[in-house]
Structure 1
Amino acid sequence: MGFFLETFFGGLMAGMLYSLIALGFVLIFKASGVFNFAQGAMVLFAALAMARFAEWVPQWLGTDSKLLANGVAFVLAMACMVAVAWLIERLCLSKLVNQEPIALLMATLGITYFLDGFGQTLFGSDIYKIDVGLPKDPMFLFEQTFPGGVLISQEDLAAAVIAAALVAVLALFFQKTATGRALRAVADDHQAAQSIGIPLSRIWVIVWSVAGFAALVAGIIWGSKLGVQFSLSQVALKALPVVILGGLTSVPGAIIGGLIIGVGEKLSEVYLGPMMGGGIEIWFAYVMALLFLLFRPQGLFGEKIIDRV
């Protein structure tokens, strides 16, 4: 039972990180009606910015304070993500208002490759480390209940708590604030939202900036765990099955979908992997997504689209 709980908790903690990235997909889809394939590239770009600014800031300020360096680096990296959001809206999205969804989809693919290349040109292509002080040592829980206790990674636990808090804040922002309501109005109908005075360009900059903030936090956490490298954008794409499972238009769905994928892939790898030769963790999420596309394409919490003729 102790080993099962270790695996289960590990899946929950990984699932919260998936949910954080998936939330960026959901926010942009709700605001623009397009599936943002660039979210993974945004995670990589944000992580590169954070890692490199954390190296450069102590030299610029002449300080040895890691806390100050990380704080300034975070602000500068976030400023980069806001600048990216503004440029995407100004140079790309504003030219495609009311166009077919496939046009916006192809635009995000172009943004993906641009951010992948430009990020490495600007910040370098080596493997970088992000150190924000997350605890690295494991700890044992329930030692009185199970022999040997339950081994939990403190780093994973801290990352999961941070991701959960941010997901909760973003969900409240989207549901309870005036800006969040404006985002939902834009998602329902661009032209109708414009007709009642909602500035489409400002809304798109805000939602891409929020998605950039989520990407930055996710990039810092994954970069702290795995190092900042090109494969980080591939890890971020694990959130694609999460939004398909939870529903493209549902913020709670992104959370529940991430937890299901995280727990499912860990348990499958541990308990089915030895019988099937391993590697289940790599493809489990995508098989789940395929099954949902076949039998429930709107996901668990997504809105079912009914076309009337």
Structure 2
Amino acid sequence: MMDSPELLFAVEVAVGGLLSGVMYALVAIGFVLIYKTSGVLNFAQGAMVLFAALTFVSLVERQVPFWAAIAVTLVIMAGLGFAIERTVLRPLSNRSPMTLFMATLGLSYVIEGAAQLIWGTQVHRLDLGVSNAPFEVGGIFISTFDLVAAAIAAAMVSVLTLFFRYTRTGLSFRAVADDTFAAIAVGLRLGRIQGTVWTAAGVVALVAGLLWGARLGVQFSLSLVVLKALPVLVLGGFDSIVGAIVAGLVIGATEKLAEVYLGPFVGGGIESWFAYAVALVVLLVRPSGLFGKKLVERY
């Protein structure tokens, strides 16, 4: 049996992983929103995260007040999401899923190229005014920034959940996600719903961009944060917001614990690939993920 210091250390590692997992889930939710309504794996979500962070930090560097910069960036990201749906995805709505995926992949490079053209390639420091100093709770040290970031991400998830559960637009979104053809048959306007969802994805990208940009610095590698979301999607299911949250927590905690307790036996670096190993096992055992809908094909 572990003594008290070892147990506290294990709990501390797990808590740190859970807090990181909330931020993984936040990026994954951007994918889920799009996939549920259109069946598109939006690989441009990472570029949207980068674009949001660059927009905000550039405004702040030009002496725009903090909250004004957030408001302006919010409008820009909502507009970007809406514009992507109208100009790229809607004209391709009847194409194959692979065509739509390739369109979002190409779109990610276009967005990154536009960002580089506008703001250059230098690394920006993003300060949200939150200290990264740890504080102690019951012998467990927790990063202040990680806790605040997790609280913000949780608040965003709660707002989205309430919006899609209790508003008219949200109910329409759920109807389209459950049965697209039935939703169209009863008169729901699919284009408007998808436009709203892409707008929401732009807002999610803003929150994710601010949090990840403050943690890693605003640089072009920030767009690769989508790669951390992919195992979360596989584990939770591509069409489940609840699954993204649960899977984010599981991936965040297990990869931290694996790095600490298994890393020494394999030479370290296990945190960078452990989540993908978990995702591979899940694909072999349950391809739809823990919370995803199972596809039933009849021949």
What does residue 177 of structure 2 align with? 187
1:138 matched to 2:134? The reply is yes
Q: What amino acid maps onto 2:271 in structure 1? A: E
Secondary structure of the structure 2 residue equivalent to 1:152: strand
Report if the CA contact (8 A) 1:98-1:190 is conserved: no
The counterpart of 2:8, out of the listed 2, 17, 37, is 2
The counterpart of 1:100, out of the listed 87, 96, 107, is 96
1:50 matched to 2:56? The reply is yes
The counterpart of 1:233, out of the listed 223, 227, 230, is 223
CA distance in 2, matches of 1:70, 1:172: 27
* Deviation per residue, 1:247-297 (Å, 9 max, x gap): 111111000000000001000001110111011110011111111111100
1:222 matched to 2:212? The reply is yes
CA distance in 2, matches of 1:249, 1:274: 36
1:247 matched to 2:253? The reply is no
The counterpart of 2:84, out of the listed 82, 88, 93, is 88
CA RMSD of aligned residues (A): 1.4
Q: Which moved more, 1:49-58 or 1:7-16?
A: 49-58
Secondary structure of the structure 1 residue equivalent to 2:220: coil
Report if the CA contact (8 A) 1:45-1:119 is conserved: yes
Q: Which moved more, 1:166-175 or 1:244-253?
A: 166-175
Alpha-carbon shift at residue 190 of structure 1 (Å): 4.2
Q: What amino acid maps onto 2:123 in structure 1? A: I
The counterpart of 1:118, out of the listed 97, 114, 124, is 114
Aligned residues: 293
Alpha-carbon shift at residue 24 of structure 1 (Å): 0.7
After the TM superposition, which residues 1-309 of structure 1 pair with which residues of structure 2 at under 5 Å, given as runs?
1-58=7-64, 69-142=65-138, 149-309=139-299
Alpha-carbon shift at residue 200 of structure 1 (Å): 2.3
Report if the CA contact (8 A) 1:245-1:299 is conserved: yes
TM-score by length of 2: 0.94
Secondary structure of the structure 2 residue equivalent to 1:257: helix
Secondary structure of the structure 1 residue equivalent to 2:90: helix
Secondary structure of the structure 1 residue equivalent to 2:135: strand
Q: Which moved more, 1:268-277 or 1:76-85?
A: 76-85
Alpha-carbon shift at residue 101 of structure 1 (Å): 1.5
Structure 1 alignment gaps of length 5 or more: 59-68, 143-148
CA distance in 2, matches of 1:272, 1:284: 10
CA distance in 2, matches of 1:86, 1:157: 31
CA distance in 2, matches of 1:183, 1:95: 20
Q: What amino acid maps onto 1:19 in structure 2? A: A
Alpha-carbon shift at residue 141 of structure 1 (Å): 1.5
Structure 2 alignment gaps of length 5 or more: 1-6
CA distance in 2, matches of 1:45, 1:34: 20
Secondary structure of the structure 2 residue equivalent to 1:299: coil
Q: What amino acid maps onto 2:69 in structure 1? A: A
Q: What amino acid maps onto 1:288 in structure 2? A: V
Alpha-carbon shift at residue 210 of structure 1 (Å): 0.8
Report if the CA contact (8 A) 2:74-2:203 is conserved: yes
CA distance in 1, matches of 2:187, 2:95: 20
* Deviation per residue, 1:145-178 (Å, 9 max, x gap): xxxx221110111111111111122122222322
CA distance in 1, matches of 2:117, 2:175: 38
Residues 6 and 117 (structure 1), Cα distance of their counterparts in 2 relative to 1, 3 Å cut: same
* Deviation per residue, 1:17-64 (Å, 9 max, x gap): 001111111111001111111111111111111111111243xxxxxx
TM-score by length of 1: 0.91
Percent identity for Structure 1 against Structure 2: 52
